[in-house]
Chain A
């Protein structure tokens, strides 16, 4: 394998062209075999390239304009999705979608952030940045799930909670805080997936659950690399450094146990093959739900508590008095 990434990319281009040309020819045994070999080589090459991405490149992939958005995953994984609107307090937040659905036939509630695909949609969806109403709607739907003993799936892809005047006036912080406390004690299984961007408190606001999954090229961070570079380096151009320092990739977070499982993406990333990406996620969700479904509620809640209770990294300093 060539070590120079530019050469690798050129090779991918060459293979793609050749595959295209070959597949235009009248198929015969000769070309079919050749084609298959080339396809395999292309897939291997893509995997190779994508496994070597830097954290900043992964952030860019997570934000890729062609990356499937949450409603794409809902369409591809769940059946009979029926959207439910509004927080019953102020308004309906288009940046947060949720509703009833079926997961392999079983009724469930699915909730997620919605970034929008084209400019018009993005504006309407506020670029997937929820306001307090979004978090309150999410909680309302989760309580609905609890009332009728349905599992909850949340899908996260957001830059963060919206920082605006109205959002502050109506208690952005309180809305997120409330979700954190309530999600810790909801008496049904909750499976969280970070599919793209996991932007800080805005992501965590629907991110407390029994299992937290994360797509291979998604990121999850306390602050955006741009924000971190601006504050700590006082220089926006240090964004690559910041992305690396923050340890925000799925692999890093698996190491800290913040993530239970990394969901592999097809070679070339989820945007190259949305269906394959959704199928992978579907597989992981099915397995996670199966593991949780049989558990008595007490055990489920104790497990969820201990899962978050154990997160963090501290040392007991040698000196100083331990009075605990």
Chain B
């Protein structure tokens, strides 16, 4: 009897057998395809399947653009001193500390010099992970210094924007950085030194309404959100849904605001060609 009765012992897994894939794979936000991270890196953060452009860090951007990924950083010691003593749900100075710890940067910009196709170029790249790449006094000062450096050395400037706009936590001091940088650009313009503005996802607010739109060439990555007011603000103001593709790079190109949309994988060559046209 009951010769074949099953034992009641439950099946116990041996050890921890969960497979860890995080860190190895990414999922494309657009086509939902799983992409091996190494593949994503070698395609410069662009989905090999659908061409979606992932957001990349400032330093990643610079190493993609400069020859052999070599560049020298400037003004990386500049930091905000929280001039307003701003406190919302969290004190601003705490936020800055956390961001510094998370990104290794003191603010949302890396200002660099290096060679692009053998020619010296100053490139400023924004860091989207640092308070949405927002512009406060530090970014304003770093970009202005970069432009003044360009004037001194007669060296072209490229600014890669990726920013939610002026930083609220520094109030009107952030706002006036727009005027400060634009004034420096007027001098660069008069000296006939080229400035190329590269707009990436997202570029909005005070950054768009100042230097990002003032390039000798304004070029954007595909599918980037670019605008003055954010889509939510516009929807609330006009109380209707926005049309498909509104404020995307393609929309801006069609409305005459951009010279070109350039795929990140061609950006380096495009810049080299444009700067050589300008005599550099």
| CB–CB B176/A177 < 8 A | no
In this complex, which of A164, A171, A321 has the most chain B Cβ atoms within 10 angstroms of its Cβ?
A171
Instruction: A305 to B237: give the CA distance in the assembly, Å.
Output: 36
Partner of B179, one of A164, A207, A223, A315: A207
In the assembled complex, the CB of A210 is this many whole angstroms from the nearest CB of chain B, namely 12
| CB–CB A201/B206 < 8 A | yes
Stretch at the interface among B29-37, B52-60, B69-77, B265-273: B69-77
Partner of B88, one of A169, A198, A232: A232
Partner of A222, one of B168, B179, B213, B237: B168
Q: Does A176 contact B (CB under 8 A)?
A: yes
Q: Does A52 contact B (CB under 8 A)?
A: no
- For window 176-233 of A, CB contacts with B under 8 Å fall at 176-178, 180-182, 184-185, 198, 200-201, 204-205, 207-208, 220-223, 227-228, 231-233
Instruction: A172 to B257: give the CA distance in the assembly, Å.
Output: 10
| CB–CB B182/A168 < 8 A | no
Q: Does B209 contact A (CB under 8 A)?
A: yes
Q: For B106, what are the chain A residues with a Cβ–Cβ distance below 8 Å?
A: 317, 320
Q: For A313, what are the chain B residues with a Cβ–Cβ distance below 8 Å?
A: 80-81, 83, 137, 170, 173
Residues 195-213 of B, flagged 1 when their CB comes within 8 A of A and 0 if not, give: 0000000000110111111
Q: Does B175 contact A (CB under 8 A)?
A: yes
CB-CB nearest in chain A for B136: A312
Partner of B213, one of A174, A227, A308: A174
Partner of B209, one of A173, A233, A321: A173
Q: A316-B78, A323-B72 are in contact. Are A311 and B180 (CB under 8 A)?
A: yes
| CB–CB B80/A314 < 8 A | yes
In this complex, which of A198, A200, A222, A241 has the most chain B Cβ atoms within 10 angstroms of its Cβ?
A222
Q: Does A28 contact B (CB under 8 A)?
A: no
| CB–CB B137/A312 < 8 A | yes
| CB–CB A204/B247 < 8 A | no
- For window 108-131 of A, CB contacts with B under 8 Å fall at none
Instruction: A246 to B168: give the CA distance in the assembly, Å.
Output: 8
In this complex, which of B176, B213, B229, B247 has the most chain A Cβ atoms within 10 angstroms of its Cβ?
B176
Q: For B88, what are the chain A residues with a Cβ–Cβ distance below 8 Å?
A: 232-233, 241-242, 245
In the assembled complex, the CB of B193 is this many whole angstroms from the nearest CB of chain A, namely 14
| CB–CB B89/A184 < 8 A | no
Partner of B172, one of A161, A222, A323, A324: A222
Partner of A317, one of B78, B84, B211: B78
| CB–CB B189/A181 < 8 A | yes
In the assembled complex, the CB of B61 is this many whole angstroms from the nearest CB of chain A, namely 19
| CB–CB B177/A180 < 8 A | no
CB-CB nearest in chain B for A309: B180
Residues 157-188 of B, flagged 1 when their CB comes within 8 A of A and 0 if not, give: 00000000011111111111111101111110
Q: Does A319 contact B (CB under 8 A)?
A: yes
Q: For A207, what are the chain B residues with a Cβ–Cβ distance below 8 Å?
A: 179
Q: For A258, what are the chain B residues with a Cβ–Cβ distance below 8 Å?
A: 172-173, 176
In the assembled complex, the CB of A58 is this many whole angstroms from the nearest CB of chain B, namely 14
Q: For A205, what are the chain B residues with a Cβ–Cβ distance below 8 Å?
A: 209
Instruction: A44 to B245: give the CA distance in the assembly, Å.
Output: 58
Q: A177-B211, A317-B78, A324-B74 are in contact. Are A311 and B228 (CB under 8 A)?
A: no
Question: Nearest 7 CB-CB pairs, A to B?
Answer: A163-B229, A312-B137, A184-B183, A180-B182, A313-B83, A320-B77, A173-B208
Interface CB pairs A-B, < 8 A, 19:
A161-B228, A162-B237, A163-B237, A171-B255, A174-B213, A200-B206, A201-B206, A204-B178, A208-B179, A223-B168, A231-B168, A242-B88, A245-B88, A308-B176, A311-B179, A315-B80, A317-B77, A321-B73, A324-B74
